[in-house]
């Protein structure tokens, strides 16, 4: 299927009919962002030029009605429209002109069965077999700032427009106007009002609970036949809610032709809105009620580099530390075989103690792993650290290598610092941060092993060590560890990715210190 395609195999073509917001958070500008965030091609017809920002509305200029119709016809004469999102209409003449234009378009069937029983409904084909756009109305009456965006004498015209609409998405005050009652104070009252509007106008009604005060926001999609679907989500503590109504209705308009199911479209849009509100404070736009973050999910995940690029970035980020390792007398002597035995035995004794802590960190990674494959890999690696690598150490040092009991050698300050870093990351860090912290012990050892193996020979005093870290099985394990870490980073949040970067570099620095310690005594 084409990227972002609808159930028909096409990328949805969605039209916004709305007012403008030069600050970009609401109106036509917000609609286009929401369309793009959900894989639709966005188009826009301007009903009113609004001078506004995050603190309020300063002025409204309404172009001639003839120009509005010219815009509408220019789009429909040339482009097949899969969905229409209607926002600010301002006055009765604008509403009448939009209604007249909608009358020229193919009509959809009744909305009573849309999405009922969980069945997908494409809804883009009229009874005559011609494309019929889905119409979503956000009945914009008052801006987030409190400024009125619909003249009071236009409310009856807005009621009449509902016969052209598939879904209307009022907030609590707007729902009260449509229902002809006082604003609801509970989710139950809002649901009752939505039932009345849906039945009276044969329209789907999304009753939004954002204006209520409960910790859990409850929205309800109500059908004309009285059936309903409930959607719940956390209330996000932010003042930056500018354009929420515009944006969620636009998201649904983009998603409905993609999914063929209004229930799924609303559910997906609500999850997106929660994320957009949660990240709204990151934008720092304006001094009032700022905009939501329409592209939070894309910027955190969709725009992240692929796994191979991330792995390359990590490796290049420690080029200075890798050069430092190569310059160490310990590593040079290990390769040439001239390393004093006392220094090598000190290194092995400390490494045996380190492996105890390292294995615990690997086991913690196994416990946190999101998939069975990753859980098995880290568990296997923890076993390998104690059974495989420790056996190598004992072949040089004897059976007491790694012993922490009475009379055992003490961990050096360098060893304690490295182990403490891993233990702290396992205790307080995320899964991504932890696996990034254990990765350098794989990667740097493989790098050293691959480059030093060319210096190995049968009489080399440290031949077995060189063979171990140039071994094909260790090579494969390292590749697997890099793959797991870098793939996780592609889906990590911005915060976790930064923590992974820091953990990877800090562990790499500890590796430099660990290799340097035997020759510093």
Q: Tell me how far apart the alpha carbons of residues 382 and 61 are, in angstroms, rounded to a whole number.
A: 68
Does residue 167 share a domain with residue 226? yes
Does residue 446 share a domain with residue 370? yes
Q: Tell me how far apart the alpha carbons of residues 156 and 58 are, in angstroms, rounded to a whole number.
A: 26
Higher pLDDT pick, 143 / 263: 263
**Three-class HEC string of 218-275:** EEEEECCCCCEEEEEEECCCCCCCECHHHHHHHHHHHHHHHHCCHHHHHHHHHHHHHH
Does residue 295 share a domain with residue 355? no
Does residue 320 share a domain with residue 204? no
Supply the DSSP string of 427-494, one letter for each residue: HHS-HHHHHHHHHHHHHHHHHHHHHHGGG--TT-TTHHHHHHHT-HHHHHHHHHHHHHHHHHHHHS-H
* 178 token code pair: 């449509």
Q: Which of 300, 389, 433, 511 is catalytic?
A: 511
Q: Which residue has the tokens 């030093």?
A: 452
Does residue 325 share a domain with residue 259? no
- Whether 40 maps to a domain, the answer reads yes
Q: Tell me how far apart the alpha carbons of residues 112 and 202 are, in angstroms, rounded to a whole number.
A: 7
**Region for 180 from its dihedrals, namely left if φ exceeds 0, alpha if ψ lies in -120 to 50, beta otherwise:** left
188-197, 228-237, 465-474: least confident range: 465-474
Question: For the chain, what is the domain count?
Answer: 2
Distance, C-alpha 208 to centroid of its chain: 23
pLDDT at residue 154, as a whole number: 83
pLDDT at residue 415, as a whole number: 96
Q: Is the pLDDT of residue 484 over 90?
A: yes
State pTM to two decimals.
Answer: 0.60
- Whether 373 maps to a domain, the answer reads yes
pLDDT at residue 144, as a whole number: 57
> 41 has which bridge partners?
13
Higher pLDDT pick, 433 / 129: 433
Q: In the structure, what pLDDT confidence band is assigned to residue 408 with cuts at 50, 70 and 90? A: low
Q: In the structure, what pLDDT confidence band is assigned to residue 304 with cuts at 50, 70 and 90? A: low
- Domain harbouring 328, CATH code: 1.20.910.10
Does residue 51 share a domain with residue 93? yes
Q: Counting Cβ atoms within 10 Å, is residue 284 exposed (0-12), middle (13-18) or buried (19+)?
A: exposed
- Whether 187 maps to a domain, the answer reads yes
**511 part of the active site:** yes
Domain edge (last residue) among 276, 300, 324: 300
Q: What's the sign of the alpha-carbon dihedral 361, 362, 365, 367?
A: negative
Q: Is the pLDDT of residue 423 over 60?
A: yes
- Whether 164 maps to a domain, the answer reads yes
pLDDT at residue 521, as a whole number: 76
Q: Tell me how far apart the alpha carbons of residues 392 and 190 are, in angstroms, rounded to a whole number.
A: 70
- Whether 227 maps to a domain, the answer reads yes
Q: Counting Cβ atoms within 10 Å, is residue 337 exposed (0-12), middle (13-18) or buried (19+)?
A: middle
Q: Which domain holds residue 279?
A: 13-106+130-300
Buried b (16+ CB within 10 A) or exposed e, 292-311: bbbbbbeebeeebeebeebb
Q: Per residue in 122-143, pLDDT tens?
A: 444 544 455 789 999 999 886 5
- Domain harbouring 235, CATH code: 3.40.1190.20
What does the pLDDT average to over 231-260?
Answer: 92
> 233 has which bridge partners?
217
- Whether 405 maps to a domain, the answer reads no
Domain edge (last residue) among 275, 300, 325: 300
What does the pLDDT average to over 477-501?
Answer: 90
Tell me what the pLDDT averaged over the chain comes to.
88
Does residue 494 share a domain with residue 467? yes
Q: Is the pLDDT of residue 387 over 90?
A: no
Does residue 165 share a domain with residue 86? yes
C-beta separation of 417 from 511 below 8 A:
no
Q: Per residue in 464-473, pLDDT tens?
A: 888 888 889 9
Q: Tell me how far apart the alpha carbons of residues 243 and 210 are, in angstroms, rounded to a whole number.
A: 12
* 372 token code pair: 């069975």
Does residue 377 share a domain with residue 281? no
- Whether 122 maps to a domain, the answer reads no
Higher pLDDT pick, 377 / 106: 377
Does residue 464 share a domain with residue 424? yes
Does residue 458 share a domain with residue 433? yes
53-57, 274-278, 302-306, 405-409: least confident range: 405-409
235-244, 437-446, 505-514: least confident range: 235-244
C-beta separation of 491 from 301 below 8 A:
yes
Domain edge (last residue) among 247, 271, 300: 300
- Whether 280 maps to a domain, the answer reads yes
Supply the DSSP string of 351-418, one letter for each residue: HHHHHHHHHHHHHHHHHH-SSHHHHHHHHHHHHHIIIIIHHHHHHHH-TTTT--STTPPPPPHHHHHH
pLDDT at residue 80, as a whole number: 94
Listed residue (125, 165, 99) closest to 8, CA to CA: 125
Q: Which of 433, 441, 485, 496 is catalytic?
A: 441
Does residue 216 share a domain with residue 296? yes
Q: Tell me how far apart the alpha carbons of residues 331 and 339 are, in angstroms, rounded to a whole number.
A: 8
Name the pairing type of β-strands 216-222 and 204-207.
Answer: antiparallel
Q: Is the pLDDT of residue 1 over 80?
A: no
């Amino acid at each position: 299927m084409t990227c972002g395609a609808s159930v028909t195999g096409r990328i949805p073509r969605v039209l916004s009919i709305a007012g403008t917001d030069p600050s970009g958070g609401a109106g036509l500008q917000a609609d286009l962002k929401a369309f793009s965030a959900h894989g639709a091609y966005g188009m826009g017809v301007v009903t009113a030029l609004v001078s506004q920002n995050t603190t309020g509305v300063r002025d409204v200029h309404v172009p001639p009605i003839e120009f509005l119709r010219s815009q509408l016809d220019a789009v429909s004469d040339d482009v097949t429209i899969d969905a229409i999102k209607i926002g600010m209409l301002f006055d009765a003449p604008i509403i009448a002109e939009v209604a007249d234009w909608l009358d020229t378009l193919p009509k959809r069937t009744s909305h009573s069965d849309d999405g009922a029983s969980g069945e997908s409904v494409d809804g883009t084909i009229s009874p005559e077999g011609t494309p019929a756009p889905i119409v979503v109305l956000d009945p914009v009456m008052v801006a987030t700032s409190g400024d009125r965006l619909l003249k009071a004498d236009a409310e009856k015209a807005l009621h009449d427009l509902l016969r052209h609409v598939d879904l209307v998405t009022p907030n609590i005050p707007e729902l009260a106007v449509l229902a002809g009652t006082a604003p609801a104070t509970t989710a139950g009252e809002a649901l009752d009002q939505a039932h009345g509007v849906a039945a009276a106008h044969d329209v789907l009604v999304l009753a939004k609970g954002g204006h209520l005060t409960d910790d859990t926001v409850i929205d309800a999609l109500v059908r004309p036949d009285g059936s309903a679907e409930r959607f719940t989500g956390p209330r996000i503590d932010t003042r930056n809610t500018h354009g929420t109504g515009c944006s969620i209705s636009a998201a649904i308009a983009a998603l409905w032709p993609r999914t063929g199911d209004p229930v799924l479209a609303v559910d997906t849009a609500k999850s997106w809105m929660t994320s957009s509100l949660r990240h709204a404070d990151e934008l720092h736009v304006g001094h009032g009620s700022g905009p939501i973050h329409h592209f939070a999910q894309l910027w955190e995940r969709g725009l992240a580099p692929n796994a191979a690029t991330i792995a390359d970035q990590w490796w290049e980020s420690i080029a200075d530390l890798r050069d430092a390792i190569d310059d160490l007398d310990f590593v040079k002597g290990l390769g040439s075989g001239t390393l004093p035995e006392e220094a090598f035995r000190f290194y092995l004794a400390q490494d045996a103690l380190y492996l105890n802590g390292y294995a615990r960190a690997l086991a913690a990674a196994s416990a946190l792993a999101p998939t069975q494959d990753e859980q098995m890999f880290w568990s296997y690696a923890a076993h390998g650290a104690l059974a495989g690598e420790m056996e190598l150490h004992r072949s040089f040092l004897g059976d007491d290598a790694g012993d922490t009991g009475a009379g055992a050698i003490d961990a050096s300050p360098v060893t304690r610092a490295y182990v403490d870093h891993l233990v702290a990351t396992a205790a307080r860090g995320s899964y991504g941060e932890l696996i990034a912290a254990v990765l350098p012990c794989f990667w740097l050892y493989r790098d050293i092993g691959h480059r030093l193996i060319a210096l190995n020979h049968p009489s080399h005093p440290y031949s077995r060590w060189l063979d171990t870290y140039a071994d094909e099985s260790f090579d494969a394990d390292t590749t697997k560890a890099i793959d797991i870490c870098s793939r996780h980073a592609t889906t990590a949040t911005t915060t976790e990715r930064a923590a992974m970067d820091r953990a990877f570099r800090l562990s790499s620095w500890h590796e430099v210190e660990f290799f340097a310690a035997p020759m510093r005594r």
